[in-house]
């Protein structure tokens, strides 16, 4: 049986830079980089996926993969 890997995927083309996901993250894992894009610090992320639920534009998705 394979192991399931769950991770966050960000689609730059869909992102409207509203930064609602940053406000809702309890871990401060999301931020804004110098270019004004969403930044993500994987070591802080506890995979609660509140950010994906808060994104109204479908830019943040939870991806599950069998490895
Ligand atoms: S909530 Fe969605 S659209 Fe808004 S900044 Fe985050 S990823 Fe982009
Ligand atoms: S999954 Fe949770 S901890 Fe990780 S970036 Fe999203 S809101 Fe923050």
Q: Flag whether pLDDT at 29 surpasses 70.
A: yes
For a pocket test of ligand 1, which of 38, 50, 52, 53 has the largest count of ligand atoms closer than 8 A to its C-beta?
38
What is the CB < 6 Å shell around ligand 1? 15-21, 38, 54-55, 57, 59-60
Q: What topology does CATH give the domain 4-66?
A: Alpha-Beta Plaits (3.30.70)
Per-domain residue ranges for the chain?
4-66
Please give the average per-residue pLDDT across 12-35, as a whole number: 96
Q: Distance from the CA of 60 to the center of ligand 1, in angstroms? A: 7
Alpha-helical segments (H) within the chain: 20-24, 50-54
Give the confidence band of 30 by pLDDT, cuts at 50, 70, 90: very high
Q: Distance from the CA of 41 to the center of ligand 1, in angstroms? A: 15
Percent of the chain, pLDDT > 90? 91
Torsion of CA 10, 16, 17, 20, to 10 degrees: -80
């Amino acid at each position: 049986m394979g192991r399931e890997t769950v991770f966050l995927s960000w689609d730059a083309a869909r992102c409207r830079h509203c930064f609602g996901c940053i406000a809702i993250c309890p871990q401060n894992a999301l931020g804004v980089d110098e270019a004004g894009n969403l930044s993500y610090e994987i070591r802080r992320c506890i995979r609660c996926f509140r950010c994906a639920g808060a994104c109204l534009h479908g830019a943040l998705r939870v991806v599950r993969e069998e490895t």
